[in-house]
Amino acid sequence: MRKVTLIATVIALGLGAIPFAATAQSGLIDGTVTKIDESAGKITLRHGPIKKLDMDEGMTMVFRIQDPTMLKQVKAGDKVKFDADRVNGELTVTKIEKTK
C-alpha cells in the first residue's frame, strides 16, 4: 500500500508541474511591423492574441520599445516575433526578432 501512495504522490506532483511549465514557456507573439517612430521610441504592430496582457483577439496597436536599438533591426512590412509587457503602466515591446 505504501508503494501505491508513493507512486500516486509522484504522479500528482508531476501532473501539477505541467500547467506551470506551459505558462512559464509562453512563446513569442507573431506580428507584422506597420510603422516605426524612432524619435518617439514607438512601433506599431499588427499582431495576434496576447494572452498575458488579456488580449484575446488580434489587432493593430502602438507599443513603446524597451531598447531603442531594437527599432534598427526591423522596418515596416517585416514579419516579426515579439514579446510585450506592461512597463511603468505602458505596453512595451521587450524583445523583437525578424522572421521570414
Instruction: Note whether residue 85 is domain-resident.
Output: yes
Bridge partner residues of 85 (DSSP)? 92
Q: What is the per-residue pLDDT across 14-72, written as a single tens digit (0 to 9) for each?
A: 544 444 333 344 589 999 999 999 999 999 999 999 999 999 999 999 999 999 999 99
The domain in which residue 85 lies consists of 29-98
**90: in domain:** yes
- Structurally, the chain folds into a number of domains equal to 1
Report how far residue 97's alpha carbon sits from residue 81's, in angstroms, rounded to the nearest whole number.
5
Answer whether residue 7 is part of any domain.
no
| 17 belongs to a structural domain | no
- Is 35 inside a domain boundary? yes
pTM, two decimals, is 0.72
Give the CATH number, domain containing residue 68: 2.40.50.320
User: Is the residue at 4 inside a domain?
Assistant: no
Q: CA 57, CA 17: separation in Å to the nearest integer?
A: 28
66-89 pLDDT, tens per residue? 999 999 999 999 999 999 999 999
Closest of 25, 28, 27 to residue 17, by C-alpha = 25
